Amino acid sequence: MSDKPEQRSTPSNPARRQKALAVEPGFPPKRVVSGATRVRRLDNIDLRLLRVFAVLAETGSFAAAQIALNLSQSTLSTHLASLEQRLGGPLCLRGRKGFRLTAFGQETLEAIQDLFESIELFQARVSQAPQELGGRLRIGSIGGIINNPDIGLQDVLARVIDQVSTVHVDLQLGIPQDLELQVADGTRDVAIGPFARHAPGVRYLSLCEEPHALYCGQGHPFFDMADELITKDMIDRARFSVRAYRKLEDLQRINHPRASGSIVHMEAQLMMILSGRFIGFLPEQSAAPYRRAGRLRPILPAAYHFVSQHYIAFRAIDQSRNVLQIFIRELLRQAGRSEALNDENAR
């Protein structure tokens, strides 16, 4: 047997070699790192940071990556800086010549692509191995959907457990961009929300539409005021609570000059508006019980409303898992969209 160390083969994707031509040389110089040091450095790197950098490199600009990931420029820059600090070198350069990867960034991108290919291969082999019907089902969802009959997650879970009594359900709430990345990196099996639909390797099924309107609570100056008396100038001066992860989008919907409050989950938005001190958007289903109780009212609903499209997101490589298939089937059944799964299976 030869004592020579095994040589790493050239990546099978020729496009990777092509990208190397546009790389800024010399960042950082090659150096030998012991196995133990490398493990200590990489052990705690969040897969989501790697996914963010991969999207940034593949889109070729911060502006395009912001749209694809639905992240602000400051958040994207923070993620990149955190990854560069953990890896120990600059991954890309920005300047007059535009966005480009450093040599270290190109090597890192190729390693990330190899890593995710290996993860997908691992999961494919595991999913094809003989297994019982149960196991763990890790679900992610946005908040504020408990009163939405088209999602009815509590009813869906009841039917799933009736069919698979041994399943362990792990249910967590989150914001859309985090849930989408968690599905992409395999930390969530399935997620429900208004996704941007850009995560690589993720399949999306249309679930339902959710109408939203602008609301105020009892005690707010608008509450007992007729709609025709509420002017745009009055709305501009009102305290406006926005979704922190879609701040600009909410401001633009009513062309409001500033946000006076922010939330992550819709339950928090309800609290803000019910205080009688803020206006803000709410799903109509979430607001309905409080409207009936006389505690909320919509503001100029003909002018200030929008519809949010919800999707089921799951990894294509996981779609053959029995318990996941049952969960997706019951979700679509709840929304009256059972035919969507048949269309998906026919592809």
Which pLDDT tens digit goes with each residue over 266-290? 999 999 999 999 999 999 999 999 9
pLDDT above 60 (res 51):
yes
Q: Does the structure show a pLDDT above 70 at 298?
A: yes
Average pLDDT over residues 290-299: 98
- CA dist., res. 61 & res. 55, Å (int): 9
CB atoms within 10 A of CB 169: 14
Can you give the pLDDT at residue 38?
42
- What length does the chain have? 347
* Tokens, residue 101: 């990867």
Instruction: Between 83 and 124, name the one with better pLDDT.
Output: 83
Question: pLDDT tens digits, residue range 324-343?
Answer: 999 999 999 999 987 776 65
How much is the pLDDT for 341?
63
| 8 Å CB contact between 17 and 11 | yes
Q: Which residues of 224-242 are buried (b: 16+ CB within 10 A; e: fewer)?
A: eeeeeebeeeebeebbbbb
Quick check: 320 pLDDT over 60? yes
Question: For the ranges 24-38, 73-87, 95-109, 246-260, which has the lowest average pLDDT?
Answer: 24-38
| pLDDT given at position 95 | 78
For residue 60, the number of C-alpha atoms closer than 13 Å in the C-beta half-sphere is: 5
Q: What whole-number distance in Å separates Cα of residue 21 and Cα of residue 212?
A: 48
**Confidence (pLDDT) at 73:** 85
* Alpha carbon 35 to chain centroid, angstroms: 34
Question: pTM of this prediction?
Answer: 0.66
Spatial contact of 335 and 205, defined as CB atoms under 8 Å apart: no
- CA neighbor of 162 nearest in space, from 338, 323, 320: 323
Residue with tokens 């990931």: 69
Q: What are phi and psi of 120, to 5 degrees?
A: -65, -40
pLDDT for res 319: 84
Q: Which pLDDT does position 127 carry in this prediction?
A: 53
